């Protein structure tokens, strides 16, 4: 057996101590690096959310600014693969392109949003994308493709029990019906689904107004328009208000109620369109007023 001298033992012990210190330092550095990575990812996620919320807040007033903030949000969200905000951001950007009639960009972005949403099992965004793709195809007069998207959306919404999306999809399916009775039947099912959902007031009163548009009996139509207007005024849904007041005025005109029609347009539809700078509706309500 080889004997180790006392001096040799001291050296060995010193080396072991040094190695232990180095190991502790390295462990601390690795731990700090991991913590920094976690904090960095969290920081990116927080920044993405902040930009996203800012984009939503300014969308009704300035869509160009909104687009800028969504793009910034997407940049931070894309910096790591686990950020579940990305499908929502892509959906918002796609919707802005769609509104600007940039159909090619909108189509690609809605597809990308769906891919991301499916990855995170976010079937709310999936069904929302399918509904918007249906609207896009409807704009392009591709009725059957529009219907196919809605059928997919309804199937997905029912599978995952997404009542808000079920109601919205039913409302959109009703709009494709050429028979008013069939459309109203589907709308009633949509309204029944939406009426008890908190936060679904906009969708609910939109379908009420559409049902009024499809109702041949003036008395029932007027009642439905007024119900939709009451909800829209409470929720400050300006576009629904303008459309409902305009169509209510047209119904009054058909029944020779000129004064009531004038009040709808002069005191409500036109001022709201001016206030919200809704040029699309402004030309329509002026035409009705003439």
Listed in sequence order, the residues at least 6 apart from 151 whose beta carbon sits closer than 8 Å to its beta carbon are 173
pTM for this prediction: 0.79
CATH architecture label of 63-197: Alpha Horseshoe (1.25)
**Interatomic CA distance for residues 86 and 74, integer angstroms:** 6
> For residue 80, what pLDDT is reported?
76
Summarised one tens digit per residue, pLDDT across range 75-128 is 999 887 778 999 999 999 999 999 999 999 999 999 999 999 999 999 999 999
Residue 161 backbone zone (phi > 0: left; psi -120 to 50: alpha; other: beta): left
Summarised one tens digit per residue, pLDDT across range 77-91 is 988 777 899 999 999
**Interatomic CA distance for residues 233 and 121, integer angstroms:** 36
Residue 252, Cβ density class (10 Å: 0-12 exposed, 13-18 middle, ≥19 buried): buried
**Interatomic CA distance for residues 276 and 267, integer angstroms:** 15
* pLDDT less than 70: residues of the chain: 1-44
Question: What Å distances lie between residue 101 and 32, 65, 96, 135, 281, CA to CA?
Answer: 49, 18, 9, 12, 17
Q: Give yes or no on whether 63-197 and 199-290 have one common fold.
A: yes
Give residue limits of the domains in the chain: 63-197, 199-290
For residue 202, give the nearest of 227, 244, 235, 178 by alpha carbon.
235
> For residue 40, what pLDDT is reported?
40
CB < 8 Å & 24+ apart, contacts of 230-234: 231/201, 231/204, 231/205, 232/202, 232/205, 234/201
For residue 113, give the nearest of 68, 97, 45 by alpha carbon.
97
**Interatomic CA distance for residues 127 and 123, integer angstroms:** 6
Dihedral Cα 244, 249, 254, 258, nearest 10 deg: 170
For residue 172, give the nearest of 222, 235, 130 by alpha carbon.
130
Q: Does domain 199-290 have CATH number 1.25.40.10?
A: yes
> For residue 44, what pLDDT is reported?
55
> For residue 196, what pLDDT is reported?
87
């Amino acid at each position: 057996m080889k004997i180790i001298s006392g001096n040799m033992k001291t050296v060995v012990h010193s080396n072991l101590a040094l190695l232990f210190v180095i190991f502790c330092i390295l462990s601390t550095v690795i731990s700090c690096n991991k913590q920094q990575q976690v904090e960095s990812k969290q920081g990116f996620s927080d920044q993405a959310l902040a930009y996203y919320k800012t984009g939503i807040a300014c969308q009704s007033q300035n869509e160009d600014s909104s687009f800028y903030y969504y793009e910034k949000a997407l940049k931070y969200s894309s910096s790591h693969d686990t950020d579940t905000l990305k499908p929502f951001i892509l959906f918002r950007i796609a919707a802005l392109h769609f509104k600007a009639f940039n159909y090619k960009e909108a189509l690609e972005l809605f597809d990308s949003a769906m891919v991301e949403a499916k990855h995170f099992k976010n079937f709310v965004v999936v069904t929302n994308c399918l509904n918007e793709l249906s609207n896009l195809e409807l704009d392009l007069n591709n009725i059957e493709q529009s219907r196919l998207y809605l059928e997919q959306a309804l199937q997905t919404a029912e599978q995952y029990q997404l009542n808000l999306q079920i109601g919205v999809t039913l409302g959109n399916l009703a709009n494709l019906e050429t028979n008013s009775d069939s459309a109203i039947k589907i709308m009633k099912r949509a309204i029944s689904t939406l009426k008890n959902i908190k936060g679904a007031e906009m969708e609910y009163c939109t379908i009420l107004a559409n049902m009024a548009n499809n109702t041949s009996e003036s008395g029932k139509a007027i009642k439905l328009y007024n119900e939709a207007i009451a909800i829209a005024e409470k929720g400050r849904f300006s576009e629904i208000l303008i459309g409902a007041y305009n169509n209510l005025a047209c119904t009054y005109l058909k029944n020779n109620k000129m004064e009531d029609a004038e009040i709808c347009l002069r005191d409500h539809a036109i001022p709201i369109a001016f206030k919200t700078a809704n040029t699309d509706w402004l030309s329509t309500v002026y035409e009705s007023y003439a």
